[in-house]
Amino acid sequence: MGNLCTCFSPKTPVKTKKPAKSLQGNSQTGPNSSNRWTRIRSTRKDTHDAMIHEQALAAAILFRQHQQQNGSDSGSFPFDRSVSLRYPNGSGSKKTQLPRSSSSRARSLTDPLLQPHQLVNRDIKLDDLETNHFVLVHGGGFGAWCWYKTIALLEEGGFKVTAIDLAGSGIDSFDTNGITSLSQYVKPLTDFLEKLADGEKTILVGHDFGGACISYAMELFPLKVSKAIFVAAAMLTNGQSTLNMFSQKAGSSDLMQQAQIFVYANGNNHPPTAINLDKSLLRDLLFNQSPSKDVALASVSMRSIPFAPVLEKLSLSDIKYGTVRRFYIETSEDNAIPITLQESMINSSPPEKVFRLKGADHSPFFSKPQALHKLLVDISKIPST
């Protein structure tokens, strides 16, 4: 990105007029020859103008007759809008076609490109749901921007969507190196939940490190969370930190460890303040099944991950965190949190139900947006037991 390409359209060849041929057999021109040719040219021009006038008059007469035949004297001409109409199902002469993806990547059968009305059962009314408000929480280094496909699909389906930028993430201006606690990092989310009216509920969706963030919020505001959905996320137990969770998959050839670049903003004699990810490894680590355009977006949008919140152990209770209904969405082709680690977290703290996105990498909002959307909607419709 950053290359500026300028396209030059080919020049249209200029046609040169051939010089008029001289009249042969009349080398001498009389004194009145110029006037004679002027009269000829003038006569031809008058004839041409008369023809144009007659054609315009005939067109006007036909236009007026057409108006009278259609019973319209208002001067308005009926406009054929067929080129701009979208034919609904079962109507129109054209067959409804599914929209094509703008990605050059071949679409997987596990992630069909469907319209929102095809993903949501028509007999389900959003007003009948406990809540139709999704709150999307990004993972470490990401921002609200990563949910752009999910936001569009949910909103087109009639859902209310809020995507949060955690502290030092996305467009939040806070310096990542200055974040010293999980509560400080999650403050944009907790502030949002705190301002919700009493009785208003949400569906929290956490990705990656965002799983620990929504767990923290569930402990603080259990009555404002209808369901919690962990998408390839850190689903921790009481007293566990995200670093503890990742240490379960330690290995000398681990791609995550290779990609980590620690930032020591307070000097090398102090603990790291943040973690950057090697951009040359981003595709293999996070986006191994995602379209190139989304990888490019992430490469210019991702920011540092604050280190202190990753170290902090969560305090989760059964009477608060434990009362919120939890669901987990596994990603089968995940190189950041492998499926074995996801299943380990699930076994340690079983959620109500587990779903799996086949062929999804660590970023299913890029690699499987349609399938992810369908699961989110399906979970929103699961009634209380």
Q: Is the dihedral of CA 45, 49, 55, 58 positive or negative?
A: negative
206: which strand partners? Answer: 137, 230
The rounded distance, in Å, linking the Cα atoms of 62 and 56 is 10
Residue with tokens 């699909």: 153
Listing DSSP states for 155-215 in one string gives HHTT-EEEEE--TTSTT--S-GGG--SHHHHHHHHHHHHHTSPTT--EEEEEEETHHHHHH
Q: In one letter, which amino acid is 190?
A: T
Specify whether 80 is catalytic: no
Specify whether 66 is catalytic: no
| 259 within 8 A of 287, measured Cβ to Cβ | no
Specify whether 73 is catalytic: no
- State the first-to-last Cα distance of the chain, in angstroms, to the nearest integer: 50
Residue in 111, 208, 294, 361 annotated catalytic: 208
Instruction: Return the C-alpha torsion angle 165, 168, 172, 174, nearest 10.
Output: 150
Backbone angle region of 145, left / alpha / beta, with phi > 0 → left and psi within -120 to 50 → alpha: alpha
Listing DSSP states for 38-81 in one string gives HHHHHHHHHHHHHHHHHHHHHHHHHHHHHHHHTT--SS------
What's 148's DSSP letter? Answer: H
Residue in 133, 138, 362, 373 annotated catalytic: 362
Instruction: Return the C-alpha torsion angle 72, 76, 82, 88, nearest 10.
Output: -70
Residue in 111, 165, 294, 334 annotated catalytic: 334
Listing DSSP states for 242-300 in one string gives HHHHHHTT--TT-HHHHHEEEE-TT-TTS---EEEE-GGGHHHHH-TTS-HHHHHHHHH
Give me the half-sphere count of Cα atoms (radius 13 Å) on the Cβ side of residue 14.
Answer: 1
118: three-class secondary structure by DSSP: helix
Q: Which residues are annotated as catalytic?
A: 208, 334, 362
